[in-house]
Each structure stands twice: as C-alpha cells, then as structure tokens.
Amino acid sequence: MESVGSIIMYFIIAVAIIVFSVLTVTTRKILRSATYLLFTLFATAAVYFMMDYEFLGAVQIAVYAGGIVVLFVFSILLTSRPGDNTEKLASRRRVLGLTAAVAMLLVAGYSLVSRCSMFVSRPEMGEIDMQQVGTALMGTGYGQYLLPFEAISVLLLACIIGGIVVARKR
Amino acid sequence: MEITLLYYLIPSLIMFCCGVYGFLTRKNMIAILISLELMLNAVDINFVVFNRFLFPGQMEGMFFTLFAIAIAAAETALAIAIIINVFRAVKGIDVRDLTKMKF
C-alpha cells in the first residue's frame, strides 16, 4: 500500500509523460517540439527518482536534459528559422502513421493487461549507494561492468573523431 | 489503490507509440531524430521499471539504461553532425530533398 503523496506524484508524472510526448510529435513548430521533449525527459527522470535510482535520474537530467536537448536546440537554430511552421501533413501519411501507432498501442496494451504477472506490486529495496554503483562499474566479476564501460569510452572517442570529420568545412 | 508494474508500463507504451507516429509522419530530419529519442526513452523506462519491480537488489536494468543513455548521446551527436553536413549540401533538411543517393 502506498502513501497518498506517492500516488498523487505518480499521476502527475504519468499525465506529464503522456501529454508532453503527444505534444512532442504533434506540434508544428520544431523548436516547441524540442521543448516538449525536454519536459518529457524531466518526467522520465522523475520516474527514475520514484524508483529509488537517484544516480540514474541525475544522469538522465545531466546527459539528456543538459546535453542532448541543448544540442537539438542549437542544430534547430542552425538549420531553420525560428517561427516557421512545418507544413500541414498530407492526410494519407497521417492516417498511415496513426494506424501504425494505434495498432501497436492496442496489441501491446492488450497483451500487457491480459498478463496477470504485470500486476505485481513494488517490493522493498535497500538504498543503492554510490559505492555499490562504482564497484559494479569498475569490476570484472559477475554482475560488474568494466568491459562495457571501456567499450563505451572507445565509442565516445570514435564519436568525437567522427563528428569532427563529418561536420568540418572542406 | 496500489501502484503496480502495469501503471508504469502504460505511459511508456504511449510514449513509444508517439515516437512511432512521429517517426512515420515527420519530414524534418531533426524532428525524426526527436521521435527516435522518445522511443529510446520509453525503452529505458521499461528496463528500469522491470528491474525495480521484478528483480530488486540487482542492478542489471539500471546499468543497461546507463549505457543506453551514453550510446544515445553519442548517436545523437553524430546524427546532428550528419544533418548539418546535409544542410550545407542541399540547403535544407527535409527528407524529401535527399534524393542524391538514390540510384
């Protein structure tokens, strides 16, 4: 049984996720779309905080809201004038997209609701402190992640070099 | 009232479907990339929620999400570099203008 506060908090977050993600794909100004994406990412970070993964929520805010959205806003301002609308969608294309999305929603939603294992309630969990996260990232044993960590660092290096090579002036 | 696993999966499912809709209908390349981010984010929520509800005390889902966030950041940075390059070449980022690579 959960406290009233956490239930209210849950509904605020759920409504924010649904409303802002619908607005992200339906608004016609591209800059507004990026702003709604920012709010969606904040709501996601709030979900992580509710799940007691504080480190993950902080990473989500720092990397997504702090890095990626800023990158989006810069590239939008570089490639289009602020204020111009995208043109109205052709109705055939919109119907196609709506059909795909709603069909997927119905099929996946039905298969979720029909499984009774989806109704488990939240078990208790001890606090995950930073030391645990750090040893799991830096070890090579079972349930430890040094190899993917190093692979990510090589990937980021390749991404830096690739970004410079692709985007520099010839 | 009890908040079960399903209550977290439904918003993330709706978020993913919004991403699919945007990916299929948008013409601007940056808008397509934004829809892609929505889909990635919905999957991240699922990993974390399954980890928390079904396997508390383990951290597999959390670390998978952590690495997924890092890969998404790298992918977005590279995609935006490509988009800016395309903008220089064809003076626009509408996907219908990109016909040079068709045979």
In terms of residue numbers, what domain contains B70?
A: 8-97
Tell me, what's the pLDDT at B102? 65
**Residue B59 belongs to some domain of the structure:** yes
**Same domain for A18 and A6?**
yes
Facing residue for A105 by CB, picked from B13, B28, B58:
B13
**Secondary structure (DSSP) of chain A:** ---HHHHHHHHHHHHHHHHHHHHHHH-S-HHHHHHHHHHHHHHHHHHHHHTT-HHHHHHIIIIIIIIIHHHHHHHHHHHS-TTPPPPPPPHHHHHHHHHHHHHHHHHHHHHHHT-GGGGPBPPP-----HHHHHHHHH--STT--HHHHHHHHHHHHHHHHHHHHHHS--
A71 with A143, same domain: the answer is no
- Residue B57 half-sphere exposure toward CB, CA atoms < 13 A: 4
Angle (CA) B1 B6 B7, round 5°: 55
Same domain? For A9 and A82 the reply is yes
Q: Band of the pLDDT at A29, cuts 50, 70, 90?
A: confident
Identify the pLDDT of residue A137.
86
Q: Please list, in sequence order, all residues whose beta carbon lies within 8 angstroms of the beta carbon of residue A55, skipping any fewer than 6 positions away.
A: A128, A130, A133, B62
Both A7 and A54 in one domain: the answer is yes
Is there a single domain that holds both residue A109 and residue A162? no
How does the average pLDDT of chain A come out, rounded? 87
Decide if B55 is inside a domain.
yes
Average pLDDT rounded to a whole number, residues A43-48: 94
A109 lies in the same domain as A151: no
| Structure confidence at residue A19 (pLDDT) | 95
Indicate the residue among A61, A86, A111 that finishes a domain.
Answer: A86
Residue of A nearest to B91 (CA): A79
Which of the pair, B103 or A153, is modelled with greater confidence? A153
Q: What is the ipTM of this complex?
A: 0.91
Angle, helices B29-54 vs A30-50, to 10°: value is 10
- pLDDT confidence tier of residue A78, bands split at 50, 70 and 90: confident
Rounded to the nearest angstrom, the minimum Cα separation between A101 and chain B is 5
Q: Which 34-93 residues of chain B touch chain A by CB within 8 A?
A: 34-35, 37-38, 41, 44-45, 48-49, 52-54, 56-60, 62-63, 65-67, 69-74, 76-78, 80-85, 87, 93
Q: Which of A94-103, A104-113, A121-130, B25-34 has the lowest mean pLDDT?
A: A121-130
User: Does A44 share its domain with A80?
Assistant: yes
Share of chain A above pLDDT 90, in %: 46
3-state DSSP assignment of residue B92: coil
Residue A22: CATH number of its domain: 1.20.120.1200
- The closest alpha carbon to B30, from A61, A41, A158, A32, belongs to A32
pLDDT at A101: 92
| Residue bearing tokens 């984010």 | B41
Residue B76: per-residue pLDDT: 92
Residue B102 lies in a domain: no
Share of residues in chain A with pLDDT > 70 (%): 91
Q: What is the domain range of residue A112?
A: 89-119
Phi, psi of A121 (to 5 degrees): -95, 170
Instruction: Please report which confidence band the pLDDT of residue A122 belongs to, taking 50, 70 and 90 as the band edges.
Output: confident
Choice between B39 and A129, residue whose per-residue pLDDT is larger: B39
**Residue A85 CA: distances (Å) to CA of A2, A92, B26, B28, B96:** 45, 20, 12, 11, 17
**Which of A40, A32, A38, A17 shows the shortest CA–CA distance to A76?**
A32
Q: Tell me what pLDDT residue A80 has.
A: 79
CB distance B29 to B95 below 8 Å: yes
Within-domain flag for B103: no
Q: Is A125 on the interface with B (CB under 8 A)?
A: yes
pLDDT at residue A118, rounded to an integer: 67
The CATH number that applies at residue B34 is: 1.10.287.3510
Total number of domains constituting chain A = 3
Q: Which stretches of chain B drop beneath a pLDDT of 50?
A: none
pLDDT digits (tens, 9 = 90+) for A6-25: 899 999 999 999 999 999 99
